[in-house]
Amino acid sequence: MKAFVIAEHSEAAKQLCAGARIMADEVAVAVVGVNAVPEGIADAAYHVDVPAGAILDDAAKTLEPVIAGFDAVIIEPTKRMKSVAGKLAAAAGASVIADALSIEGDVATSMYFGGVGHAQRKATGTAFYTVSPNVFVNEQATGSNGAAEELAWVAPENAVREVSSEPVPKSGIDLTASDAVVAAGRGFAEKEDLQLARDLADKIGAGLGCSRPLAEGVDWMPAETYIGVSGLILSPKVYIAAGISGQIQHMVGANRAGTVFAINKDENAPIFKQCDYGLVGDLKKVLPALTAAL
Ligand SMILES: Cc1cc2nc3c(=O)[nH]c(=O)nc-3n(C[C@H](O)[C@H](O)[C@H](O)COP(=O)(O)OP(=O)(O)OC[C@H]3O[C@@H](n4cnc5c(N)ncnc54)[C@H](O)[C@@H]3O)c2cc1C
């Protein structure tokens, strides 16, 4: 069994290689874009530099010949790499099994309807999976690869042409690497109140994340910090959800945490059925008291 990992970020490449090693005797990896391929994580390593004016989504044509002969292709689920996954699968006459949570042999368990249900699917032909790197957080990547081989860019026939670009401001927060995460939800009525969550996070050395409405509804938090099926799937040791109702689309990003704490003023909030410790109360009172007590 041979598995090929495609990622945009170095750490994701490492974790996905660790997962690929469980199922495959031979593991190869390619990182697309500006990030480097870590050494010692696979048996062969490649890097795809994206030329000026081209976009990461078009890297599929460059990767097509390199993945030939591999049984499974495991892809980091960033927006760009999902697009690469679709193009590679279409070229191979296969389809992508998205958001896989586990892979046993050639059967993958994945989420559907935003995490409401789980489905088991068997790949036909080459198996293409998008998998959150955190799924393999407890595995160790091994391999003898040294510096990655640089692949020459192959432009697709109908390449996307970049007309203009604007840098998206990045927060610099990497929640995937945080042992503790404080997550804020719509229970925060004012943007200024987020300082209460920030104070708690600072006190315990946690990263600050949020539910989707705070990042995409009101734009109070950076888009890369929202947690859930369409955002980050995390597995910190501690997860503190404040003012979050506990909808499944959010919780699939949180329920891999070691211990989940919930603070909500509604004792019937669904999150109380999914947490280890729940506190019924107004976050405006609870958070400052907690920060002061810790
Ligand atoms: C296809 C799809 C994908 C989605 N993907 C995601 C995703 O990846 N991530 C995500 O988060 N959501 C996602 N959603 C949205 C999701 O369904 C929920 O709407 C969202 O998670 C709700 O966010 P929330 O819990 O912050 O807000 P709400 O559901 O509005 O909950 C707010 C909670 O705060 C409590 N509260 C109010 N005031 C206070 C107070 N003063 N003190 C304490 N508690 C208070 C309330 O009792 C309530 O329980 C998705 C939805 C769909 C359909």
Per-residue model confidence as pLDDT tens digits over 87-109: 999 999 999 999 888 888 888 99
Q: Does any ligand 1 atom lie closer than 6 A to the CB of residue 282?
A: yes
Q: Calculate how far, in angstroms, residue 256's C-alpha sits from the geometric centre of ligand 1.
A: 18
Quick one: which atom of ligand 1 is closest to the CA of 227?
9
Are the C-beta atoms of 66 and 76 separated by less than 8 Å?
no
For 111-162, the pLDDT digits (tens) are 777 667 788 999 889 999 999 887 887 789 999 999 999 999 999 999 988 8
Q: Helix 79-91 to helix 60-67 angle, to the nearest 10 degrees? A: 50
Distance from the CA of 140 to the center of ligand 1, in angstroms?
A: 34
Max Cα-Cα span within the chain: 62
Both tokens assigned to 237: 């040791």
Q: Say how many Å lie between the CA of residue 98 and the centre of ligand 1.
A: 23
Task: Please give the model's pTM, rounded to 2 decimal places.
Answer: 0.74
Q: Which two tokens stand for residue 41?
A: 């994580």
Contact 101, 125 (CB under 8 A): no
Examine the pLDDT at 42 and tell me if it is beyond 90: yes
Q: Is 231 in the pocket of ligand 1 (CB under 6 A)?
A: yes
Q: Which domains does the chain have, with CATH numbers?
A: 2-151 (3.40.50.620), 175-293 (3.40.50.1220)
CA 185 – ligand 1 centroid, Å? 6
Question: Residue 278 — pLDDT band, cuts 50, 70, 90?
Answer: very high
Number of CB atoms found within 10 A of residue 80's CB: 17
CB 4, CB 29: distance < 8 Å: yes
